[in-house]
């Protein structure tokens, strides 16, 4: 019998090496042979159905509109890719500000989002500072 490696199966089935190894260890791929830490997958093996998705299942009516909106937004986002360097920089800065502000708030810090942005820019905040 002819076998293929995990990497080849990954390319053929368009799923990650890690997922292939998980499927092999769970016995979800017929005829797999384990040799040491490696798996040999029969060349004619079929890609297992992904039980983690809704594929083949009926979606409740209450969620169909929501899923349609999500699909439309994802399609719109895909049309805008690849993002420009300026857009990526702005998104990184926004993420850093929000992440820092929320992390500090969890720890009990009382800085506002605007004050956090100033600190990230290196501006020192004085006790007497009054928001205008």
Model confidence pLDDT, tens digit, residues 18-42? 999 999 999 989 999 999 989 999 9
User: Cα–Cα distances in Å, from 52 out to 15, 17, 55, 57?
Assistant: 13, 17, 9, 11
Query: Residue 11 is inside which H or E element, if any?
Result: helix 6-13
**Contacting residues for 115 by C-beta, under 8 A, at least 6 apart:** 125, 129
Quick count: other Cβ atoms within 10 Å of Cβ 110?
7
Residue-level pLDDT at 124: 81
Residue-level pLDDT at 49: 78
Between CA 46 and CA 29 the distance in angstroms is 7
| Intervals of the chain under pLDDT 50 | none
- Cα 61 → chain centroid: 27
Residue-level pLDDT at 59: 77
Residue-level pLDDT at 99: 95
Query: Residue 77 is inside which H or E element, if any?
Result: helix 61-79
Residue-level pLDDT at 94: 95
Q: Which of 127, 92, 128, 130 is nearest to 114 (CA)?
A: 130
pTM of the model: 0.42
In three-state secondary structure terms, 35 is: strand
């Amino acid at each position: 019998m002819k076998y293929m490696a995990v990497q080849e199966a990954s390319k053929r089935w368009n799923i990650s090496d890690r997922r292939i190894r998980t499927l092999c260890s769970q016995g979800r791929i017929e005829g797999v042979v384990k040799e040491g830490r490696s798996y040999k997958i029969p060349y004619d093996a079929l890609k297992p159905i992904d039980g983690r998705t809704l594929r083949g299942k009926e979606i409740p009516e209450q969620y169909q509109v929501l899923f349609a909106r999500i699909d439309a937004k994802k399609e719109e986002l895909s049309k805008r890719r690849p993002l420009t360097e300026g857009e990526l920089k702005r998104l990184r800065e926004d993420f850093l500000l929000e992440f820092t502000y929320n992390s500090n708030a969890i720890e009990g810090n009382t800085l506002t989002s605007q004050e956090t942005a100033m600190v990230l820019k290196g501006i020192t905040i004085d006790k007497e500072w009054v928001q205008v």
